[in-house]
Structure 1
Amino acid sequence: MRALRRSRTVRTPWRVLMSQPFSSRCPRLATLLQSTTRTTKSAGDVDPALVLSSTDAEYSVLGGFCLLCLQSISSSMGDGAKWMVNKIKGKMQKPLPQLLKEYDLPMGLFPQDATNYEFDEETKKLTVHIASACEVGYKDSLVLRFFTCVTGKLNKGKLSEVEGIKTKILIWIKVTAVRTEASKVHFCAGLNKTRNRDAYEVVRDGVSIDKF
C-alpha cells in the first residue's frame, strides 16, 4: 500500500516577506488605504498613495490603523475592558495606592482587589473596579463596604461625590466623601466619622459579601 505523502506548508521567511511590496504583504489593508486615497484625493488633500512608497511610512500607516481599531474597540467596551485596552496601547497607570498618596489620601483606603481603575485628570473623576462587593475591616474597628464599581471626584486631600462605599452607623449608610486633615481622616456619611489616618495606610483584603 502506497504511503500517502503529507502536504507541507511552505512558510515565507520574515526578511523575504518584508522585502515584498506593501500591497502583497497586506492586500486587504492596501485595498482599504487605496479607497481612502481616492476619497482624500477627490477632496483636494495630499494623496496618501505617496505614503506607501516608503517602508517606514507603511509602518506608520499600519500603526495608526491599529490604533484606530483599538480606540474603536475601547469605545464599545466597559470601563474594566478599557483598562486592558489602555495596557495594550502602552498607557500603563501607576498603582492605585500610589495615586491616592499623590492626592494626600490614605494608601490603604481601597481593598486589595481594587487594582483596575480609570482616572480622568481633566474632570478628576476616579472610577475604581473591584472583583466583587466586599467588606474591609480596619485596625481601628471601622468597617467599610465597597461595591464592584466605586466612583468619586479626586482632588488634593479629598474624594467627593462618592458612589459605591458604605459604613455602618447603627445601619449601613452611604459614604459621600472622604477627606484628610494632617493625621486624621474624615468619612462623611450623614454624620462625620473622624479617624486616625495611620489605620488606613496599609492595603487590606476584602471579605466578599452577597449584598452591597
Structure 2
Amino acid sequence: MGFFSFKQNLILSLTIFFSLFTKSLASQISVYQVLNDYDFPSGILPKGVENYDLDVSTGEFAAYFSGSCSFSLEDSYQLYYEPAIRGHISKGRLQSLKGVSVKLFWFWVNIVEVRRAGNDLEFSVGFAGAGFPVDNFEESPQCGCGLNCNFGVSSF
C-alpha cells in the first residue's frame, strides 16, 4: 500500500488542477478590465499593454509595453509612458506612480498619483494637479497619435 491512498491522490490532484486553472483564468483578464475593477476607466492606459503584474494583497501594480509610448491629447498635453509603469492601486486610487510623465510648458514632470473623485479623475504631479471628467478617458489612446489616429498614420 502506497503512502497516499487513491482518494488522497485524487483530492491532491484536483486541488492542484483547480489552483492552476484559476490562476490561468486570472491571467486572462486584461489590464483594462483590472482598471475597471478598481473604478478607473480603461483610457488612462494607452492601447498596447503587453503584460501586467498585480499583487492583490499589496496593490503593487505594473504594466508593460514593448517600448516607450508618447502621444498628444487635445493638442495641449503631451504624455510619455516608459516601457514599464509601476505603482500601487486601490479602489479609485493609483499612487506612487512611476513611468508616466506629462509635459508642462517646457518641462517633463512625473504623474505621481491618479485619484477618482466622483465623476472626475484628479492627476497629481506632486506640486500641482488637474482634474478631468472620467468620460474623457473612455477610449484608450494609441501610442504615437493619441485619439486622433487617421488609419494608422501618426500625427505626432
TM-score, normalised via structure 1 length: 0.55
- Matched residue, 1:143: 78
Code of the residue aligned with 2:115 in structure 1: it is R
Q: How many angstroms apart in 1 are the aligned matches of 2:88 and 2:28? A: 18
2:112 paired residue among 148, 154, 176: 176
TM-score, normalised via structure 2 length: 0.73
1:121-170 per-residue CA deviation (whole Å, 9 max, x = no partner) reads 10011111111111133347433210111111101111000011100112
Q: 2:111 matched to 1:192?
A: no
Q: 2:43 matched to 1:108?
A: yes
The residue correspondences of 1:27-46 to structure 2 (distance < 5 A) are none
- Matched residue, 1:99: 34
- Matched residue, 1:203: 140
Q: 2:96 matched to 1:161?
A: yes
Secondary structure of 1:207 counterpart = coil
2:67 paired residue among 129, 132, 154: 132
Q: How many angstroms apart in 2 are the aligned matches of 1:128 and 1:172? A: 21
Shift in Å at residue 204 of structure 1?
Answer: 1.7
1:80-113 per-residue CA deviation (whole Å, 9 max, x = no partner) reads xxxxxx89x6242411111111211121111111
Q: How many angstroms apart in 2 are the aligned matches of 1:142 and 1:155? A: 26
1:22-74 per-residue CA deviation (whole Å, 9 max, x = no partner) reads xxxxxxxxxxxxxxxxxxxxxxxxx9x544x85x949x67x96xx9xxxxxxx
Unaligned segments of structure 2, at least 5 residues? 146-156
Secondary structure of 2:43 counterpart = coil
Q: Which has the larger share of strand?
A: 2
Identity of aligned residues (%): 22
Q: How many angstroms apart in 2 are the aligned matches of 1:92 and 1:138? A: 31
**Alignment CA distance shift 1:106-1:116 (3 Å):** same
Q: Which has the larger share of helix?
A: 1
Task: Count matched residues.
Answer: 139
Tell me which of the two structures has the higher relative contact order, counting C-alpha pairs closer than 8 angstroms and 6 or more residues apart.
2
Shift in Å at residue 116 of structure 1?
Answer: 0.9
- Matched residue, 2:54: 119
Greater than 4 Å deviation, 4+ residue runs: none
Unaligned segments of structure 1, at least 5 residues? 1-46, 68-85
CA contact (8 A) 2:50 2:66 kept: no
Code of the residue aligned with 1:181 in structure 2: it is A
Shift in Å at residue 191 of structure 1?
Answer: 1.1
